[in-house]
Amino acid sequence: MSLQLIVLLGAFPFAMAYAAASDLVSMTISNRLCLFLVASFALCAALLGLGLAEIGWHLAAGGLVLMVAFGLFAAGWIGGGDAKLAAATALWFGFDQLMPYLMIAGLLGGLLTIAIITLRTRPLPAFMEEWSWLRRLHAPTEGVPYGIALAFAALLVLPETAIWHAGLGV
CA distance 62 to 7: 23
Structure letter (DSSP) for residue 6? H
CA distance 16 to 103: 17
What is the pLDDT, as a whole number, of residue 129?
87
What is the pLDDT, as a whole number, of residue 163?
86
CB 67 within 8 A of CB 119: no
What is the pLDDT, as a whole number, of residue 3?
56
pLDDT profile of the chain (170 residues), mean per 10? 67 95 95 96 89 96 97 94 97 96 97 95 90 91 94 96 81
